[in-house]
Amino acid sequence: MRHIISLLMENEAGALSRVAGLFSARGYNIESLTVAPTEDETMSRMTIVTRGSDAIIEQIKKQLNKLIEVVAVVDLTDGDHLERELMLVKLRAQGEAREELKRMADIFRGRIIDVSDKTYTIELTGTGSKLDSFLQAIDRGLILETVRTGSSGIGRGDRILKL
Amino acid sequence: MELTGAEIAIRCLQEEGVEYVFGYPGGAVLFIYDALFNQEKVKHVLVRHEQAAVHAADGYSRSTDKVGVALVTSGPGVTNAVTGIATAYMDSIPLVVISGQVPTSFIGEDAFQEVDAVGITRPCVKHNFLVKDAKDIASTLKKAFYLAKSGRPGPVLVDIPKDVSNQKVEFAYPPVVNIRSYHPEKHGDVAQIKRAAQLLIEAKRPMIYAGGGVVLSDASKPLTDLVRLLGAPCTNTLMGLGGYPATDKQFVGMLGMHGTYEANMGMQNCDVLLAVGARFDDRVIGNVAHFASVPRKIIHIDIDPASISKRVQVDVPIVGDVGHVLGDLLAVLHSSKQKPDAVASAAWWKQIDEWRSRNSLTYKNSNELIKPQYVIEKLYEITHGEAFVTSDVGQHQMWAAQYYKFNQPRRWINSGGLGTMGFGLPAAMGVQLAHPEAQVACVTGEGSIQMNIQELSTCKQFHLPIKVIALNNRYLGMVRQWQQFFHGNRYSESYMDALPDFVKLAEAYGHVGIRVEKPSDVEGALREAFARKNDLVFIDFRTDSTENVFPMVPGGKGLSEIIFAEDL
C-alpha cells in the first residue's frame, strides 16, 4: 500500500543522505522524497512517499526513528491528511493548440507562468493523480518538459507534527 | 585555557576514563599523535593494520563493558578500519573510532589520502560526525561516547580534519549531553510486562531464548533468576553464550544452524517463547515460514524497537533495557500468587530430556587423527572453563561455541553478525590488555589466522601472552563442508595450499610455536602452553581435515529439519 511519511529532522549536512541511504540499503522503495527547512531553521521537514506491506511500513518507521538526526516520524496515511505536489510543464503551444492548452490549464486550475511564441509553461498543484490526469489529457507530442516536486503532506485539522 | 583540537581530543578521552587507544598513525592524525605523546594517562597500542585496531578495541569492549577506542588516519586508514567498524555494528559493540581527515580546505578535491569517511561508514555505524571546527570537538566526542554506550550500543565515528586538530580554542568538557532526537527507552511498558508474566506463569511448555543483549546489558543475574523461577529450559544464541551458565541443568545449549537438537526442538515445540535481547536472525531460526508454522505465543524484550517483529511477528513486544525489564518482570512474578504448573513442567522436561538423550554433539574420537572437538574439550578442561576465548570465523568457531561451556558472560568473544575472519587475534589483544592476569585463548583456523597474522608483532611489542589455538585442517573448513553437502563434493578453492610453517612463523615473531600431530599430544601441548604464563604460544593442531560441524540445519530449512553426524 502507498504511504506518506512525514519526518522532522535536524537541519544538518548529511541528514538527507542518511535517510536516502537507509531506503537503498534495506531495499525499501521511494516513490518521491521532498525536503526543505521549516520555520525553525534548525529543523527540516521531509515527506517520503513509499509503498510496502504493513510489516515493511512498520519497519521503515522504526528504522527512520532509529536515525539519530530524526526528531519525529508520522505516517500521514494513518489519518486524514492533505497532499499536494507542484508540477511545472512546458508545452508546445502553437496555432490551434494555444487556445486548447489555455483551456486545459483553466480546467485543471493551473496557471500559465511563462509564455513564448512557441511555448507555454504551466504551473499546476494538486495530488499526484491530478497531475497525472492533466498530462494524460494533453497530446503527448506537445509536452516538451515536465518537472515535479514530489508530494508534500500535512495532517488535517488538529493533527500537528511539531517539536 | 586554549588548547589545540588534538589536545582537546586527548583531554576528552582522559575525561571519559579511556585506558587504551588502539591505533596507527598517519599524516592526517599527526597532531593527535603529538598530543598523545605529551601525556601518559591514555596508553596507545600500536597495531600493524587498522582493521586490527578496531577489532582490538572491540575485544576490549566486549570483555569489559567499556567503550573501545580506535584512532586511524584518513584515506586507507579509515577504509582499513571499515571491516572492524562493520563487525562491531552487527554485534552492537560500543566503540568510538576517531579518524583523521584531510584539511577542511582540501575536502572534496581528491586530496592525497582523502576519502569520504562519513559517507563510507554511514551504513555501518550507529552515528558519525565530521567535525569542522575545533570548538565542536569536545561536545562531539561527548555525544559520541554517549551514543556508543546508550540504547542499543554501536560504533560511532568522529572524523577530524587535520587543520581542525591544530586549531586553538578554549576547552571545556560538557558535563552532560542532550540530544533532542535521541531518547532510548530504559524501562519496559508495565502493562506489557504484566501480560508477559501472565503468559509465562500459565505456560505449559515455556522456553527462554537469550541473545547478545543479555551480555551487553549485564543481565545474566536477572536472566538466571527468571529461568530458575520459571523452571524453564534456556538456550543461548552464539552471541549470548555465557549469558546463562552453560553447565546449569536448565541450559539446553546453543540453538540455530549448529545448535543442539534439544534447543532447536524446544524452540519449535514450546507454547510460550520468551526472547530476550535476541533478534531471530537467519542463522538462529532458519526458515521464517517454517518457524512461524507452529502455534506459540512469543514475548520479545529488546532495547531496539526495530528488532521487534522484524522477521517474526511477536505477541508481546517489550521495548527496554533487558536488565531493567527482566528485573521488573521478576518483581511481577514474585508478587503473583500463581505458580508455574508443576505437572506440565515435569512432562515438558521429560520431553526435553528425551531430545537431550540423542546427544547431538557426540563425535567419534580417534587415536590417529586429532579431532577438533577434542581439542576444544581439552582446552575447556585445562582452563577450568574460565578462560576468555576469542575466535575467528568458520568451523573452529562453531566447535568452540559448542564444546567450551561458558558459565560467565563476556568470556566468549566472536564476530557473530558480520562473521569476520581475522577477528580473533586482534580481539584477543584487547581482551588480554583489559585482563592482564587472565588466560586468553584465540581459537582459530589456518585460514582465519592469516587474515591478521601481522598482529603477532603487536603481541610481541605489548607482551601479550595469548594462546593461539589453531585448528589446522588445511581447508577453509566451513566452505569445504558446504561444498561437500550442497555442491557435490566440488572443493572449489577451499584447499589451503602452501601453508606457512606456523611454528617457525611464531618463532620469527619472537613467540613460541608448537606443532601437534597426534591426539595423545593434545593435552600436553595445551598444558605446556598455559604453563608459559609470559609467552604467546601458537599451537598448530593438525586436525582431521574431513571433520564437519554437526548438528546442522541447512540454510533455508526449518529448525527441526536437522542433519546429524550419523546421517552422513
Judged by DSSP in three states, B81 sits in helix
CA angle B284, B289, B291 (to 5 degrees): 45
Residues of chain B under the 70 pLDDT cut: none
The whole-number pLDDT of residue B566 equals 81
Q: List the one residue out of B518, B538, B214 whose CA is nearest residue B374.
A: B518
Chain A within 8 Å of B148 (Cβ-Cβ)? no
Write the residue in A10, A13, A55 that is nearest to B181 by C-beta.
A10
At B329, list the grid cell: 518482570
Count the neighbouring beta carbons within 10 Å of the beta carbon of residue B235. 27
| B270 Cβ contact list (under 8 Å, min separation 6) | B203, B205, B206, B207, B296
User: B478 an active-site residue?
Assistant: yes
Average pLDDT over residues A107-116: 97
Chain A within 8 Å of B185 (Cβ-Cβ)? no
DSSP state at residue B189: P
User: Which residue does chain B place closest to A24, by CA atoms?
Assistant: B123
Judged by DSSP in three states, B298 sits in strand
- Inter-chain contact A55–B313, Cβ cutoff 8 Å? yes
Asked if residue B554 lies in contact with residue B566, where contact means CB atoms within 8 angstroms, the answer is no
Distance (Å) of CA A24 to CA A21, A35, B40, B307: 5, 17, 45, 19
User: B112 an active-site residue?
Assistant: yes
Chain B within 8 Å of A21 (Cβ-Cβ)? yes
- Per-residue pLDDT band for A13 (boundaries 50, 70, 90) equals confident
- Inter-chain contact B122–A71, Cβ cutoff 8 Å? no
At B161, list the grid cell: 580534519
Chain B residues lying within 8 Å of A65, measured CB to CB: 305-306
The whole-number pLDDT of residue B245 equals 98
The whole-number pLDDT of residue A69 equals 96
CB pairs A-B closer than 8 Å: 36
The whole-number pLDDT of residue A163 equals 82
Please tell me which residue in B112, B313, B461, B507 is annotated as part of the active site. B112
Write the residue in A13, A63, A70 that is nearest to B181 by C-beta.
A70
Strands A143-148 and B20-23: unpaired
Judged by DSSP in three states, A124 sits in strand
Write the residue in B119, B147, B306 that is nearest to A68 by C-beta.
B147
Distance CA B310, CA B448 (A): 32
- Exposed / middle / buried, residue B112 (Cβ in 10 Å: 0-12, 13-18, 19+): exposed
Query: What is the nearest CA distance from B288 to chain A, expressed in angstroms?
Result: 14
Chain B within 8 Å of A27 (Cβ-Cβ)? no
User: B162 an active-site residue?
Assistant: yes
pLDDT tens by residue, A29-86: 999 999 999 999 999 999 999 999 999 999 999 999 999 999 999 999 999 999 999 9
Determine which of B145, B152, B181 to mutate to test the interface with A (most A C-beta atoms within 10 Å): B181
Element containing residue B267 per DSSP (H, E)? helix B261-269
pLDDT tens by residue, B428-469: 999 999 999 999 999 999 999 999 999 999 999 999 999 999
Distance CA B479, CA B483 (A): 6
The whole-number pLDDT of residue A66 equals 96
Chain B residues lying within 8 Å of A17, measured CB to CB: 119, 122
Asked if residue B422 lies in contact with residue B91, where contact means CB atoms within 8 angstroms, the answer is no
Write the residue in A18, A58, A62 that is nearest to B122 by C-beta.
A18
Determine which of A9, A10, A62 to mutate to test the interface with B (most B C-beta atoms within 10 Å): A62
Distance (Å) of CA B504 to CA B137, B440, B497, B516: 46, 22, 17, 14
Distance CA B410, CA B94 (A): 14
Answer whether residue A22 shows pLDDT above 90: yes
Query: What is the nearest CA distance from A10 to chain B, expressed in angstroms?
Result: 8
The whole-number pLDDT of residue B22 equals 98
Distance CA B13, CA A112 (A): 61
Judged by DSSP in three states, B486 sits in helix
The whole-number pLDDT of residue A162 equals 87
User: B386 an active-site residue?
Assistant: no
Please tell me which residue in B126, B162, B378, B467 is annotated as part of the active site. B162
Residue type, A16: L
HEC secondary structure over B209-259:
EECHHHHHCCCHHHHHHHHHHHCCCEEECCCCCCCCCCCCCCEEEECCCCC
HEC secondary structure over B327-341:
HHHHHHHHHCCCCCC
Bridge partners, residue B321, by sequence: none
What value of ipTM does the predicted structure carry?
0.92
Determine which of A66, A69, A162 to mutate to test the interface with B (most B C-beta atoms within 10 Å): A66
